Amino acid sequence: MKAFLFNNKHEEFLKVYTFNEDKMNSSNKIKAIILAAGKGTRMKSSLPKVLHKVVGKTLLERVINSVLELSSIDEIFTIVGHQSEKVADFINNTYKESCKPIVSIKQEPQLGTGDAVFKAYDSLKSFKGTVIVLCGDTPLLTSETLQSFIDFHKQNNAALTVLSAVFDDPKNYGRIIRNPDNSVKKIVEEKDSGAEEKKINEVNAGVYCIEWEQVSPAFFELTTNNKQGEYYLTDIVDWSVRKNLKVQAYTLEDNDEIFGINSRFDLATANYLLNSRTLDNLMENGVTIIDPDSTWISPETQIEQDTVIYPGCIFEGENIFGKDCILGPHLFIGGNVKTGNNVKIFQSRVSNAIILNNCSIGPFAHIRDNVEISSDVRIGNFVEIKKSTIDEFTNVSHLSYVGDSSLGKNVNVGAGTITANYNPLTKAKSKTIMEDGVKIGSNSVLVAPVKISKNANVAAGSVITKDVPENSLAIARGRQTVIEEWVTKKTMNDK
């Protein structure tokens, strides 16, 4: 594996990802161009439009992820413009482990969609395969639809295929005009269409499959002879027809997939649509969702049958929940959570955790930062667990903090126990170890690094700073003193 830096005579590549040195172009390979240069003025945001999130992931991330799932995808070019460095840095950080090269290319100035695609020309001029072009603000487009679109394109031996959709009200969309043999004759924009053309309800969805060797010469003949003074990508359709190339259109089954984001209202709508799709799939596969209107679950979350989701739950990121779980109400899952079966999590916040069978978490617990909890464990109310492992049949039931710790089997941690794992002077974090059978009395502080060995007990109210051997009782508190009749004497003296 070797990283290279290219020079592009049109624009400089901002970021280049690692790729195989011996990678060769092939007619079976597919490259993608994702258009992500727009400013998104209607978003009224300091953040680039494509970096706004839909159900926990950015618009651009959802588009790239769908493309990466395609069977023959070989390379992705992302065309960036507005705040290009921020967008390119996001791609670099998010996909640094990607097995496919993802390249960001700057478009400046932004002279239209045709110009945006042309920015990738130098990197594709020797490529003889298929290029798919799509927009970075269409986060609902699925990999299944894209794969079907590509398969249709190849099966029909088309030089160019346009993704289309049928709307009851196609206002403001370019109309697809077909020939008697069902191939595409042309695309007519709304402002240029006549009365009969306006009646056509099949529209251009803005996604293209291109046989690059045949169609790429069109980009040298694009003009700005239009009201916007821009190079339109749609003009490659007219060019291909004039050159007697085969142009086809593949019609979407679900129009929601091409929903584009241009405003905060659109963003909210996309969140709703993607979440509804996710919840429908889960319910079809045997998950009970008590109130879909108050439940938000990422598409990356997997939930097995007979698990029940109560109202007020938000699940972000990638998660796997087993069978017969009870989740919620009012549960926030921050991602990277995996549970076994029959796990109950109530009114809590959980992220980066593995929780095995028959565990009970909450209410009002906080589990975070690489926690591993074995089977039959009870984590109770107002307990925080951070970067720790907890073995079977252990209880941390009330008002405790356990950080950077290892708890064995059958441990009982009393209410109010704190593992003091942080040294504010050195900023070092140290480990607390509680071996099997340990019992910690209420309101104890275990000052790490410290080890409580097997079956040892710590008396309530103790501050433990040294290791405790097996089967011992550790007491570290002041001796209790009782002054009899103190209250009576005090009262009399005050008079």
Which of 32, 242, 258 lies closest to 165, judged by CA? 258
Q: How far apart are CA 287 and CA 421, in angstroms?
A: 40
List CB contacts of 492: < 8 A, sequence separation 6 or more.
Answer: none
Q: Is 398 a catalytic residue?
A: yes
Which of 52, 82, 330, 398 is catalytic? The answer is 398
Interacting residues of 33 by C-beta distance below 8 A, sequence separation 6+: 76, 77, 78, 79, 116, 117, 120, 131, 132, 133, 134
Q: Rounded to the nearest 10 degrees, how much is the dihedral formed by the CA atoms of 54, 298, 76, 5?
A: 90
- Residue 83 tokens read as 């705040």
Smallest Cα–Cα separation from 258: which of 170, 194, 158, 155?
A: 170
Question: Which two three-digit tokens encode residue 248?
Answer: 């086809």
Q: Would you name the residues annotated as active-site residues?
A: 398
